[in-house]
Amino acid sequence: MPSRETHENRQHSTTVRPYSYYECQIPELFMSVPMHWHSEFELIYVLQGKGEFICGSEKVEAGEGEIFLIPPNMLHAAYPVREQNLLHYNALVFSPVMLGTGSNDRCTGECIRPLINGELEMRAGIGKTAEHYGELKTAVEQIFLCVHEDSPRMDLLLKSELLRFIWLLEEGGELVFRSEKKGAEHETLRPALEYMAQKFREDITVEELAGLVHLSESHFMKCFRRTVGISAMEHLSRLRINAACEALCESDARIADIAFACGYSNLSNFNRQFLKKAGCSPKEYRMRNR
């Protein structure tokens, strides 16, 4: 289980409203969604474009209409596909209590709790060729309609649609028991990924990261690229650029101050890296997204 210190610093649910909705647009609102985790489920529905989604040990290139259900505590990420101009998707992050986890009945014990504790998971990316896809798509669309209305009455329907969605996954054979061997390498890297998410503003070396997971530098670099899809230093750069994007949109701080606060000791290097990833200068990005 990840440590409390490396948990994503965002409250997605409360006792009164146990879910949060996000409309995600990459790269318009942010460059990517770097590897992270939280204690809630996350339901993703791709509306437009194409992106690379990493869910645990699975890596999938997904486009319009594809569906993901990410269980609690699973490391996951979303990256743009270079030739695509936009990745646009809806995300619902919801507490397990929405699935009635307070009950001790047999369906909760045999169908819901295995999803929460990671024994059971949905295969990454359900597309239009999947059995029951039409019904799954209808359920997902209904779920997001409930979320948009945002009322206690619609929360009642939202709960029932989430349970129906889980039932459709079960009926269609889309839920599988997790292979510990399959996820072993991904879990080995978790301490390094969490350390980077917490310390990305500081100087971090490959030697330091490899030591955290007890691997040689060469083996660590191979495992990281194979699992995450990019090098450790590229992942670190994406964490820093994402933090810079957020600061540019939400504050009036000087660009130089933002660069230094996000881990860059050289403003020219920051501007060069930002232009490479965002396709525009930090000043242009701030003006476009205000």
Each residue's pLDDT tens digit, 244-262: 998 998 899 999 999 999 9
Q: Comparing C-alpha atoms, which of 237, 224, 230 is closest to residue 193? A: 224
pLDDT of residue 184: 66
C-alpha 170/C-alpha 160 separation (Å) is 15
The model's pLDDT over 136-162, given as tens digits with 9 standing for 90+, comes to 999 999 999 999 998 999 999 999 999
pLDDT of residue 56: 82
Q: Is 137 helix (H, G, I), strand (E, B) or coil?
A: helix
Of 15-19, 138-142, 185-189, 252-256, minimum mean pLDDT range: 185-189
pTM of the model: 0.79
Residues 167 and 225 in one domain: no
C-alpha 92/C-alpha 133 separation (Å) is 19
Among all chains, which residue has been given the structure tokens 């009926």?
Answer: 171
Residues 72 and 156 in one domain: yes
pLDDT-above-90 percentage for the chain: 50
Residues 151 and 222 in one domain: no
- Residue range 210-226: mean pLDDT, rounded: 92
C-alpha 159/C-alpha 273 separation (Å) is 44
Residues 116 and 248 in one domain: no
Q: Comparing C-alpha atoms, which of 151, 165, 144, 139 is closest to residue 22? A: 144
Q: Comparing C-alpha atoms, which of 98, 170, 173, 165 is closest to residue 137? A: 165
Q: Comparing C-alpha atoms, which of 212, 261, 222, 218 is closest to residue 240? A: 261
Instruction: Indicate which CATH number applies to the domain containing 217.
Output: 1.10.10.60
The domain of 128 spans 4-177
pLDDT-above-70 percentage for the chain: 92
